[in-house]
Amino acid sequence: MTTNRTYFGSTTAQQRRLLFETWEQIGNVTEACRVARVGRRTFYYWKPRFDAHGYAGLVSFASSAPKHPHRVASTIHDQVIALRQANPTWGKRRIAQELAKAHQWQEVVSPNTVKRILIDAFLWPLAPLAKKRASLPASAPPTYRPKP
């Protein structure tokens, strides 16, 4: 026997308000969820916030997504730029190793992150674009080689 589960997408502020208004009038969680077309988990997810802040707490919620997952600390960013300006011949690996040496050999930043920082600061030479090979004109006959 399989249980069919209904998928409920993200709720809107109006749905959450309707959910808790209905719940306060009726007192029945199941019926309030049915009227607002949300799952029971949604009710219990939002209930602590409703208890703490009332209807104002149902308006919006904070995203749990990472805001800047690849951001390097500004001090490290400045150190990378300073090392490159002081030593223009050093590459990304050398700069990463020098930063690690300054931090008791703990890796502070990867070589590719050093390169990304330097590209953003216009301190990394960009490779020239490769020229395309000249193609044969469309009117030229194909060349065939006989098999030996």
Rounded-to-integer distance, Cα 46 and Cα 13, Å: 11
Burial class (CB in 10 A: 0-12, 13-18, 19+), 21: middle
Q: What is the pLDDT of residues 7-16, one digit of tens each?
A: 656 888 999 9
Residue pair 45/54 in contact (Cβ under 8 Å)? The answer is: no
Q: What is the pLDDT of residues 32-61, one digit of tens each?
A: 999 999 989 999 999 999 999 999 988 877
Would you state the pLDDT for residue 143?
Answer: 62
**Residue 140 reports pLDDT greater than 70:** no
What Rg value do the Cα atoms of the chain yield, rounded? 31
Domain ranges for the chain, please list them. Answer: 13-58, 74-120
Residue pair 35/70 in contact (Cβ under 8 Å)? The answer is: no
